[in-house]
Amino acid sequence: MNSHLALDGYQLAVRALSDRIVEAQTPIRVLDAVKWDDSVRQTFLKHKGRELPAIDRSYYDSRPLPFDPAAKKLEFQNIERDITRQLGQFNPVGQIMRRMCREYRMVIRMLEARGTSDFGLISQELYGAASDAFHAGDPTLADLGLMFSDYLNNIDSRGDLKDEPKTLGAKEAVALLQSRLNLVFGESENTIRVFESDGILADAAAGADYIKIRTDAMFNERDVKALEVHEGLVHVATTLNGQNQPICTFLAKGPPSSTVTQEGLAILMEVIAFASYPSRLRKLTNRTRAIHMAEQGADFVQVCDFYREQGFSLEDSYSNASRAFRGSAPDGLPFTKDLSYLKGFIMIYNYIQLAVRKGKLEQIPLLFCGKTTLEDMRTLRQLVDEGLVSPPKYLPQQFRDLNSLSAWMCFSNFLNHLSLDRIEADYANIL
């Protein structure tokens, strides 16, 4: 925990309120609360994927939340009240903290509604829906997913961009990833730990200062580079930067609105670090399409069949489809958190592009000062100037030296004004 030394009365008040938010959110673990037991998977596979999983309200009721929802909502309401009383209605950092309290109350309401239609509706409020447009007249997330799928199908038809064989076991992946992260975070500080674990479903999972690699998972070097960039340089780095905040400790923890920023940053970093690849992008587009199908009325079996049509095994199709229905019912509205990847990428890209166009480059690295939310960026700039927020200690090289990123965005700003349809017609004879 950061020290309270040398803080004035106002800073101590902000710190105390911030610490209360961090403490209050500790038992709220959304993914733990919505996950399905392995017995559900085994039963689904036993019936060859033809029967809906037996998930309903009573299933979740038998798995109670590790806190009293009513008491926890009241706790956040009291914190929000005290923020207004102590900091005032229009205090900038107070406005951020009050919004966080409201979001956490909404998260609790969503978890209380597990297995009902309200769960999906609240999820859409928190994370968005596949039918959401970015701006008036722009394509929706569902449109973007279909567009990307068309591009990826054209690439797949080549037949020469296959993924490299996965020849690295967990031990080799741990050693390689640890060595790469040490170059960024400092080997002597032992800042990030990478180790094997047999208690996770995904190939890898990040914590506050560690990355776990599933013991029986296999990787190639491209996979390891993606983990380095996505989990290490974004998720773990922003957590550590938030934990280093002397006053605004709430930046170490993120409500759903920060999930969009986090995942958007992670995907953008994969792209600009050349760590992404077509099959990884297809995974993200498939998640968006699966959520859109569920929003349009498709049930679990139909979404699972969609994945099987993509060439996935029944077991992998179950795992992918369950991401969209966890917390809900197999024929209910989906859990829309997985929209954060593509939605966040577009929003972060547009933000950086606009920051370059407006000459406000100093705001770009502040995306990494903790678990930030895009709508708070102007306020965070003000809070840095006031000394309430510390600039990020850990930054990817692409955001530490903004020369190359700025040049890329300048070209991108110009190219956005060109008509791709007109270019395609003009280039028809040479491509």
Q: What is the pLDDT of residues 67-107, one digit of tens each?
A: 999 999 999 999 999 999 999 999 999 999 999 999 999 99
Which backbone phi and psi does 251 adopt, to 5 degrees? -70, -10
State the residue for tokens 């102007």: 378
The yes-or-no verdict on residue 248 having pLDDT over 60 is yes
Q: How many CA atoms lie within 13 A of 267 on its CB side?
A: 24
When mean pLDDT is compared across 261-275, 323-337, 406-420, the lowest value belongs to 406-420
Q: What is the mean pLDDT of residues 352-376?
A: 92
Q: Where are the domains of the chain?
A: 7-160+253-424
Residue 291's identity, in one-letter code, is I
303 near 325, Cβ under 8 Å? Answer: yes
pLDDT cut 70: percent of the chain above it:
95
| Residues in a beta bridge with 213 | 196, 204
Residue 374's identity, in one-letter code, is L
Kindly report the CA angle at 265 between 262 and 267, in degrees rounded to 5?
Answer: 110
pLDDT cut 90: percent of the chain above it:
68
Alpha-carbon span 220 to 173, nearest angstrom: 8
Alpha-carbon span 350 to 413, nearest angstrom: 10
Residue with the bigger pLDDT between 336 and 208: it is 336
Q: What is the pLDDT of residue 242?
A: 96
Helix (H) or strand (E) holding 211: strand 210-214
The yes-or-no verdict on residue 334 having pLDDT over 80 is yes
Q: What is the pLDDT of residue 368?
A: 96
Q: How many CA atoms lie within 13 A of 323 on its CB side?
A: 21
Q: What is the pLDDT of residue 407?
A: 84
Number of residues in the chain: 431
Q: Tens of pLDDT along 92-145?
A: 999 999 999 999 999 999 999 999 999 999 999 999 999 988 877 778 888 888
Q: What is the mean pLDDT of residues 222-234?
A: 93
Alpha-carbon span 37 to 220, nearest angstrom: 29
Give which of 250, 204, 255, 243 is closest to 30, Cα–Cα. 255
Q: Tens of pLDDT along 177-201?
A: 999 998 888 765 568 899 998 867 6
Tokens of 328: 């809900």
Q: What is the mean pLDDT of residues 249-263?
A: 92
Q: What is the DSSP string of 28-62?
A: --HHHHHPPPHHHHHHHHHTTT-S-----HHHHHT
Q: Tens of pLDDT along 281-307?
A: 888 999 999 999 999 999 999 999 999
Q: What is the pLDDT of residue 158?
A: 63
Give which of 232, 211, 186, 235 is closest to 368, Cα–Cα. 235
The yes-or-no verdict on residue 424 having pLDDT over 80 is no
Q: What is the pLDDT of residue 1?
A: 46
Alpha-carbon span 228 to 242, nearest angstrom: 19
Give the Cβ contact number of residue 123 at 10 Å.
Answer: 27
